Amino acid sequence: MSRTAMRASEKDFENARNQLKLLMKDPGNEVKLKLYALYKQATEGPCNTPKPSMLDFINKAKWDAWNALGSLPKETARQNYVDLVSSLSPSSESSSQVKPAAANEKQPGSENIIVTSQDGITKIMFNRPTKKNAITTSMYKEIIHALKAASTDNSAITVFTGNGDYYSSGNDLTNFTDVPPNSIEETAKNASILLREFVDAFIDFPKPLVAVINGPAVGIVVTLLGLFDVVYASDKATFHTPFSELGQSPEGCASYTFPKIMGPAKAAEMLIFGKKLTAGEACARGLVTEVFPESTFQKEVWTRLKAYAKLPTNSLRISKELIRSNEKEKLHAVNAEECTVLQGRWLSEECMNALMNFVSRKSKL
Ligand SMILES: CCCC/C=C/CC(=O)SCCNC(=O)CCNC(=O)[C@H](O)C(C)(C)COP(=O)(O)OP(=O)(O)OC[C@H]1O[C@@H](n2cnc3c(N)ncnc32)[C@H](O)[C@@H]1OP(=O)(O)O
C-alpha cells in the first residue's frame, strides 16, 4: 500500500526531537530503544553497521532494535518516530483532533501491529507470525490506540486481519508466565484493567468493524467476533475458545453475545467445553458471515470491502449505531463482570497449572 497522507516533515521530526527532551517521565528502556531505532532509520536508513559482540549488551540491544526495522523507508520511520513521541506527550492523550487516515501509517512502538489505511479502509493487522500472532501486553495497548485513531480518521470501515498462517492464537500466554512470584496478584489486576479497556474499545467503536479471518483463531480473538459487524473467513480458519482447558473463563462479552448469536447450547459447547469449530460450522452458527475458499479468499474479500468502503461514510456509521446502540450499556456491564471473574481465574490453581503446562511443553520439559 502506498502512503497517501500524513507524511511527517523535517520540521515535524525536529519538533518531535525537541518535544522528547521535555518529557517529564522516563518512557522506559523498551520505548527508548524504539525511538533510537526509528531515529537511526529515519536519518541513516537501514542498519548496515557490524553487529556488536554479545557482551556489549547496550550497543547490541540498540543494534538489534535498529536492525529489526529492516528496509522500512526513511519517511515511514520519520513518521513513526513523530507518532511515538506524540503518544508519549501528555497533551496528545486528551487530543480529540480528527486525523486523516494515512496509508502505511504504523502504530507507534512496534511492528507487531501494523496499521495501514487505503481505499477508505483502515486495516489493523496482527503481525507476529512466528508466534502465531499471539497478543502481548503492548499489542493490546497498541490496538486500543489504533482503534481510537481509526474511529476519527477518514476511513469508512476498519478491518482486522492476521499476517501468516494464523489469524491469532489469542492472548500471549507468557504475559502471565514471565511474572515474578510476588507480583502475580498485581499482574492479574493490571491485566484485568487492560482487558476491560481493550474490550470497551471494541464495544464503543463507531464504524463498521470487519474481521478477515485468514487462518485459525483462538481465545480472545474469537470471543471478540461477537462485537464485529461482519466476519469473513477462509475455509482454513478454525475457531477455538479453550477457556476451561486453561482454567480461565470467557471474555470479550462472549458470555452474552455468543448465546444471542448461536443459542445457549451451541454457545456452551464452545465456551464451556472448548469445541473447536471449522469455518463452515462457525458460519452455520452465525458467528461468521461468509466462508471463502482459501485460494480466492484475499482477492474476493478485499474487492468486496473496497466496494463497501465507497458507500457514504455517515450512513454507514448511523446504521451501525442503530444496530448496536441499544446494547452498549449491557455490553459494558458484561465486560466489567467478565474481567472481574477472569482476574480471579488467573490466580486460581487450575489456571496456574494450565500455564505451567504450556511453558513446559514449550521448553520440552
Ligand atoms: C490481558 C488480557 C488477557 C485476555 C485473555 C484472553 C484469553 C485467551 O486468549 S485464551 C487463548 C490463549 N491461547 C492459547 O491457548 C493458544 C496457545 N498456543 C497453542 O496452543 C499452539 O501454539 C497453537 C495451537 C496456537 C499452534 O500450535 P503449532 O504446533 O502449530 O505451533 P507452535 O510451535 O505451538 O507455535 C509457534 C510459536 O508460537 C508460540 N505461541 C503460539 N501461540 C502462543 C500463545 N498464545 N502464547 C504464547 N506463545 C504462543 C509457541 O509457543 C511457539 O513459540 P516457540 O517457537 O518459541 O516455541
Residue 273 has pLDDT above 60, yes or no: yes
Q: b/e per residue, 261-280, with b = 16+ CB within 10 A?
A: ebeeebbeebbeeeeebbbe
Grid cell 501491529 in the structure block, residue:
113
CA distance 250 to 282: 17
Q: Considering only CA atoms, which residue is closest to atom 30 of ligand 1? A: 132
- 309 alpha carbon – ligand 1 mean position (Å): 33
The C-alpha cell that represents 98 in the structure block: 480528527
Residue pLDDT, tens place only, 158-213: 999 999 999 999 999 999 887 877 788 999 999 999 999 999 999 999 999 999 99
Mutation choice for ligand 1 from 144, 169, 192, 348, CB with most ligand atoms inside 8 A:
169
Half-sphere exposure in the Cβ direction for 125 (13 Å, CA): 20
Task: Note the pLDDT of residue 92.
Answer: 39
Distance CA 66, CA 41 (A): 7
How far, in Å, is the centroid of ligand 1 from the Cα of 177?
Answer: 12
pLDDT of 4 reads 35
Greater confidence, 199 or 16? Answer: 199
ipTM over 0.90: yes
Q: Is 2 exposed, middle or buried (0-12, 13-18, 19+ CB in 10 A)?
A: exposed
CA quadruple 230, 232, 238, 243: dihedral, nearest 10? -20
pLDDT band at 40 (very low <50, low <70, confident <90, very high): very high
- Ligand 1: nearest atom to the Cα of 220: 9
Query: Which residue CA neighbors atom 53 of ligand 1 most closely?
Result: 131
Among 91-100, 228-237, 238-247, whose mean pLDDT is lowest?
91-100
CA 82 – ligand 1 centroid, Å: 33
Would the pLDDT of 53 be above 90? no
Q: Report the pocket of ligand 1 as residue ranges, CB < 6 Å.
A: 131-132, 134, 140, 169-175, 191, 194-195, 218-220, 242, 246, 248, 251, 362
Pocket mutation for ligand 1, best pick of 126, 128, 130, 132 (most atoms within 8 Å of C-beta): 132
Q: In what order do the strands lie in the sheet with 238-240?
A: 217-218, 238-240, 277-278
Whole-number Å distance, alpha carbon 73 to ligand 1 midpoint, is 31
pLDDT value, residue 24: 67
